[in-house]
Amino acid sequence: MPITAALCNSYKQEVLSGVHTPAHIYKIALYASAATLSKATTAYAALNEVSGTGYTAAGATLAGFATALDADTAILDFTTDPTWPTSTITARGALIYNSSATNKAVAVLDFGADIASTNGTFTVTFPAATAAAGLVRIA
């Protein structure tokens, strides 16, 4: 499977530049197993994005953008797990991206296997915002 979970290089550059603000809009797009997302992914693209009932191209807007500091680790977090209610889709991974900054990639998520919903709710559950488990961490 070519999707690899990694902090995208373009995101590392953004964080170091300090360009994130609460006004930024972050989105999460779901991808099929044919996608070739990796740490080299620099921006959102529709190629091999999931399609199906209850899913809109370009994904869902993430709510509750927040940064935190746990010891020496900076964490980017979102307070609400994204959901697609009454959806019929199958996804292998996802891309979190900043739609207010030319769709720059933030992180690639690999679910480890195809995950499906059939006329049900598809949810991506984010981990706790800690140095050990946070979704996006920079130490």
The CA distance from 62 to 78, in Å, is 7
- Residue 122 binned pLDDT confidence (cut-offs 50, 70, 90): very high
Domains of the chain by residue range: 6-138
The CA distance from 14 to 16, in Å, is 5
- pLDDT 10s digits, 88-107: 999 999 999 999 999 999 99
Q: Are 108 and 37 in contact (CB under 8 A)?
A: yes
- pLDDT 10s digits, 44-91: 999 999 999 999 999 999 988 877 778 777 788 888 999 999 999 999
The chain-wide mean pLDDT, for the chain, equals 87
